[in-house]
Structure 1
Amino acid sequence: MFCGPGGQFGNELGVIRDGSVVPTDAGRLEVARELGFSETVFVDDAATGAIDIWTPSVRLPFAGHPCVGAGWLLDVAGLVTRAGRVEVRHDGEFTWITARSEWVPARTLRQYGDAAAVDALEVPPPGAWIYAWAWQDEAAGRVRARAFPGRGDGIAEDEATGAAAIALTAALGRQLTITQGRGSQLTTSPRPDGWIEVGGRVSQRARR
């Protein structure tokens, strides 16, 4: 999810298309840990778009890149998450979701002076969930970012994080084009009444 223009980079997502095969919370956590992705989605009802999102350590009521991936894979107009209903739309090579910034779990947005400073960062020790960012071109709304979940669950750096991009968009109140991690790309836009849209490219890859 959130691949670059050529389909490279992006954040991998595990999807269990029939969530009924893993009915318990303990089982879902175990599967998420075994897969080792930053998030794994369990589809509880493909027709309604009901999904359950897990990291290798916790359940998330909402997360951006799992919603973009599940919306693309299920080809639905909306998803039902524990935080609320997420609208989905498809526009050419982009899949977009619309969600609310208050659904985003706590994130520390930490601004740096330039993109080089963000690039030079070492992974911090476990603790706060940090979204490090800097302007690449403020007038054009272009941002360089990296994400450090800080959970101590094996995900030291998250390649592309839609929820954090939503939080930054809400804080800045403007449309953004974000290059995150090794080269993933996210585009965001504030919508009326506190909703924020985030979108990107999706590429399906063979199983490992």
Structure 2
Amino acid sequence: MIAVHVLRVFVDEHGNAGNPLGVVLDATGLTMRERQRVATVLNFSETVFVDHENEARVQLFTSRAELPFAGHALVGTAWLLGRRAGVTPRVLRPVRVADPVSAFVEEGRTWVRGALADAPDWGHVRLPDAAAVDRAAPQGDRWPKHQVWAWLDEPAGLVRARVFASAFGVVEDEACGSATMLLAARLGRPIVVRHGRGSLVRARPAGLGQAEVGGDVILEDVRHIELGRYNTE
């Protein structure tokens, strides 16, 4: 049986909404095929596999393929490792990126800092207002990996956004950290984003081609998967 910690990352002020994330700890015995199968069975936007908790070495998968970097996945993993060890790890080590990803806690929220070059190449589509964002829907290949957004309060840096990600096998990503990091960098300012159904994502530029993303996380469940029930071929 494979134990999966199911988190919700970027919950709002009341612990509602948030993007589901699966985290498998001590995953060293799982093959690439098995990891992909677990991620496919869970069908979250991302599932993380941790090899050696003390090293914070991690591998990220969507339901369809491996990803080098994902904001909500790394924020959630940093939070979970910190909860287990009593202190948030200073870095995470995604296996497909060159440099470690910094992690830290600020005002009770978990943050990560990463290179924008490691993030997927999200497109951004500015819409006239929040109502237009609410009405938006992917149409075929129109927005295969795009964040649609509008200002809620531009002077205050408040944004309304949604992400469509059919290119990664995800129809809509409830709260996308990497797209929000890129948006903050492109806007050149800190932002607070009301994302998806009601998630809350914070992001800001961090200089030298980097950005930070952070928010609140909760543990929802520990789920057990019997992989033998599923075809891993």
**TM-score for both structures, normalised by structure 1:** 0.94
| Residues 114-129 of structure 1 mapped to structure 2, 5 A cutoff | 114-126=129-141, 128-129=144-145
Pairing 1:145–2:161 present:
yes
> Could you list the runs of 4 or more consecutive aligned residues of structure 1 that deviate by over 6 angstroms after TM superposition?
none
For residue 185 of structure 2, the aligned residue among 170, 187, 208 is 170
Three-state SS of the structure 2 residue aligned to 1:99 is: strand
| Residues 29-48 of structure 1 mapped to structure 2, 5 A cutoff | 29-48=36-55
Letter of the structure 2 residue corresponding to residue 77 of structure 1: R
Letter of the structure 2 residue corresponding to residue 4 of structure 1: D
Task: Indicate conservation of the 8 Å contact 2:65/2:168, yes or no.
Answer: no
For residue 10 of structure 2, the aligned residue among 2, 9, 12 is 2
Three-state SS of the structure 2 residue aligned to 1:205 is: strand
The CA distance in 2 between the partners of 1:9 and 1:46, in whole Å, is 27
Three-state SS of the structure 1 residue aligned to 2:36 is: helix
**TM-score for both structures, normalised by structure 2:** 0.84
Task: Find the counterpart in structure 1 of residue 93 from structure 2.
Answer: 80
Letter of the structure 2 residue corresponding to residue 178 of structure 1: V
TM-superposed deviation, 1:170: 1.4
Using the aligned pairs only, state the percent identity. Answer: 39
Letter of the structure 2 residue corresponding to residue 20 of structure 1: T
Pairing 1:18–2:26 present:
yes
Runs of 5+ in structure 2 lacking a partner? Answer: 1-8, 83-88, 224-233
Structure holding more strand per residue: 2
User: Which string of whole-angstrom CA distances, capped at 9 and with x for unpartnered residues, describes residues 145-179 of structure 1?
Assistant: 000001373x2110011100011111111110111
Task: Find the counterpart in structure 1 of residue 68 from structure 2.
Answer: 61
* Residues paired across the two proteins, number: 206
Task: Find the counterpart in structure 2 of residue 97 from structure 1.
Answer: 112
Shift in CA distance, 93/117, structure 1 to aligned 2, threshold 3 Å: same
Three-state SS of the structure 2 residue aligned to 1:191 is: strand
